[in-house]
Amino acid sequence: MSTPALEVVEFLLTTSIYSDDRSLDENDLPPAIRRVFWTGGSGGSDDDEDDSSHTRTGRHHGGISRPLSATNTTARDATGVDRPWNAVSDLMFTERDDFSGTISLTERELAERWYLERTDEERLLENPTLAKHFEGRDDLGFEVEYEAAREQNRPIQADRVWIDGLLEEFFADEEDEEMLDLVEVRAPEEIEMTLDDLVLTPDQEAEIEKIAKAIEHRDYLAQIGLREIGKLLFVGPPGTAKTSTARALAHDMDLPFVEVKLSMITSQYLGETAKNVDKTFEVAKRLSPCILFIDEFDSVAKTRRSDEHAALKRAVNTLLKSIDNVSLIQDDVLLIGATNHPDQLDAAAWRRFDEIVNFPKPDTGMREGILRVITHAMDIDEFDPKAIAEATEGLTGSDLRMVLREAVLEALTENRTTLTQDDLLEAVADFEERDNLKNMDMIDGDHDTLVAGGDLGAASDGGHDHGHDHGHDHDHDH
């Protein structure tokens, strides 16, 4: 069982051992600790010859310098213990320098024995620094493998601080900063969704499994010359978890997630669109290994067929060429495109992808599964998810979330936090009534009024597919 003292002693041991053992690098520190000691692009690690903070192009953008300074502040930030020194001040092997605020171990061997009496295998496997230090110890009481701990530790390239360091370097010029409006970069630690949280079809699960294996064994694929792999197109109506699946894959594979909305690239910065497309792919290559997610891919085909501004057409051509020139095997970039309107894609767009993954509206069984997932933290009397699933034919996962949201809010107006089956059924009926109103035929002269009302309703629509393009914003729902 974890205690504040155990948390702080583990932190002190980790910082002390890491400072002394120069064979350890950033990937041997737990993410919570290395985040505290990471310095930006102007700083850096003292292990210049073998430094995991170097990018694939050899450029340095930060690192962790030894020795690591254990203070009240760094200990608090790394462990979450509000008053670290108070937690360990009565231990005979700790001391604090009142002037610098440094907390140190006076007798490390004594601290190690104290720690080993209170830790377990699971805890050590979460800390490669300590796993290596204690591996093979006779007094451990169990076996712990350093390589296993290091393998399950999230790599530095998945941390927000690493990503921010690279972005600050790459977007050093003011004129480049506008690109940050076009590209959203998420660290795996910031993505709450996992693949276990999603209800997927067998075909979707099979494709995800294949691509996960391809990522894991990309060196082998390069060795045998199989390079045409790693470009997926997710196809389906809004609200069917296309974006959620891509983000969850990034979370589970510890990969940075670079998200681009093509509609923004092809509608803003007209004179710079081609350059911005190039820059987007360059960001992905610099952040590799990563996932590059291109949303609203159907805007490519619409632009190619139209008489739009010549700069837009150049941007689209640049995009298609960039897709050709990015590779999971060579660049460690997994490309995922998503579209609500596959009918608008032309052959030039289709042939860029080696796998098409269909995201249909969920059937009754899938809706029941989705309902079980999204209600797991709710208190519902006589809950019958199968009955709700049967009553929600045609609704997507994000629609179901909106139904649940309305039921919860309605119950709260009655000062209730326990829902009933009737609450859910009434919310389904209300949702369908609003949906029908939103999709009424427009009456001549009232178009603007109805559109305004529809916009208000869109917030509760959750991406139900009725010919609009807003669904991707809700794809993070199940």
Predicted confidence (pLDDT) per residue in 71-103, tens digit: 999 999 999 999 999 999 999 999 999 888 899
Range with top average pLDDT, 6-15, 205-214, 311-320: 6-15
Pairing of strands 333-339, 290-295: parallel
Q: Is the pLDDT of residue 46 over 90?
A: no
Q: Is the pLDDT of residue 63 over 50?
A: yes
Q: Is the pLDDT of residue 344 over 70?
A: yes
Pairing of strands 103-105, 290-295: unpaired
Range with top average pLDDT, 68-72, 134-138, 168-172: 68-72
- In three-state secondary structure terms, 153 is coil
Reported confidence tier of residue 476, pLDDT bands at 50, 70, 90: very low
Q: Which one has a higher pLDDT value, 167 or 47?
A: 167
Residues paired with residue 334 on neighbouring β-strands, in sequence order: 291
Q: What is the pLDDT of residue 408?
A: 95
Whole-number average pLDDT of the chain: 82
Q: What is the pLDDT of residue 52?
A: 41
Q: Comparing 247-251, 277-281, 297-301, 470-474, which segment has the lowest mean pLDDT?
A: 470-474
Q: What is the pLDDT of residue 9?
A: 97
User: Which own/partner contact pairs does 54-60 have at CB distance under 8 Å and 24+ positions apart?
Assistant: 55/166, 55/286, 56/285, 56/286, 56/288, 56/332, 57/286, 59/169
- In three-state secondary structure terms, 357 is strand
183: part of which helix (H) or strand (E)? Answer: strand 183-186
Structure tokens at 472: 């991707």
Please state, for a pLDDT cut of 90, what percent of the chain lies above it.
55
Residues paired with residue 235 on neighbouring β-strands, in sequence order: 339, 358
Please, are residues 207 and 356 in contact by the beta-carbon 8 Å criterion? no
Which three-class secondary structure string do you get for 66-92?
Answer: CCCCCEHHHHHHHHCCCCHHHHHCCCC
Reported confidence tier of residue 396, pLDDT bands at 50, 70, 90: very high
The string of pLDDT tens digits covering residues 161-202 is 888 888 887 776 665 666 666 788 999 989 998 999 999 999
Q: Is the pLDDT of residue 261 over 50?
A: yes
> What amino acid is encoded at 146 in this protein?
Y
Structure tokens at 182: 């076009």
Reported confidence tier of residue 393, pLDDT bands at 50, 70, 90: very high
Q: Which one has a higher pLDDT value, 167 or 111?
A: 111
Q: What is the pLDDT of residue 167?
A: 83
Find where tokens 């917030």 sit: 459
Q: Which whole number is the average pLDDT over 435-439?
A: 65
> How far is it, in rounded angstroms, from Cα 221 to Cα 229?
9
Q: What is the pLDDT of residue 426?
A: 93
Q: What is the pLDDT of residue 280?
A: 82
Question: Hey, what domains does the chain have and what are their CATH numbers?
Answer: 4-154 (no CATH), 171-358 (3.40.50.300), 364-474 (1.10.8.60)
Reported confidence tier of residue 449, pLDDT bands at 50, 70, 90: very low
Find where tokens 């073998």 sit: 50
- For the CA atoms of 71, 77, 82, 87, what is the dihedral angle to 10 degrees? -50
Q: Is the pLDDT of residue 446 over 80?
A: no
The string of pLDDT tens digits covering residues 349-361 is 888 898 999 999 9
Q: What is the pLDDT of residue 316?
A: 73
Q: Is the pLDDT of residue 387 over 60?
A: yes
Q: What is the pLDDT of residue 478?
A: 40
> How far is it, in rounded angstroms, from Cα 424 to Cα 99?
61
DSSP string, 306-346: S---HHHHHHHHHHHHHHHT--HHHH-EEEEEEES-GGG--
Please, are residues 411 and 423 in contact by the beta-carbon 8 Å criterion? yes
* Prediction pTM value: 0.77
- In three-state secondary structure terms, 172 is coil
What b/e sequence results for 413-445 when a residue is b if at least 16 CB atoms lie within 10 Å of its CB, and e otherwise?
eeeeeebebebbbebbeebbebbeebeeeeeee
The string of pLDDT tens digits covering residues 204-239 is 999 999 998 998 888 898 889 887 789 999 999 999
Find where tokens 């620094």 sit: 129
Q: What is the pLDDT of residue 467?
A: 36
Q: What is the pLDDT of residue 421?
A: 93
Q: Which one has a higher pLDDT value, 369 or 296?
A: 369
Q: Is the pLDDT of residue 264 over 80?
A: no
DSSP E strands: which ranges in 307-405? 333-339, 355-358, 379-381
The closest alpha carbon to 403, from 368, 367, 380, 430, belongs to 430
